[in-house]
Amino acid sequence: MRMRRSLAELEQAFAKEISLDRHRRASLRRTTEQRAHKRAVQRRHKRGSVRFVLLVLMLILTAVIVTVVMFRTLYLLLG
């Protein structure tokens, strides 16, 4: 009798440990997925910011070049 009861207790403890391990793995998986998603969002935001800065710089550079060319042309035509 004692052997059967201890065997049943061992089986119960093993089943409980398996259940806890499954929950732990699921929790770790969710945490990992959330971290990966957060990093992807941060990378996307950083790339968007860099692209915006480059766009602004290109617009400023274009305006400067057009202004310089326009005044040189006016100088040549009027001078």
pTM for the complete prediction? Answer: 0.60
71 three-class SS: helix
3 pLDDT above the threshold of 90:
no
5-58 pLDDT, tens per residue? 788 888 999 999 999 999 999 999 999 999 999 999 999 999 999 999 999 999
How far is residue 14 CA from its own chain's centroid?
Answer: 39
Distance (Å, rounded) from C-alpha 53 to C-alpha 47?
A: 10
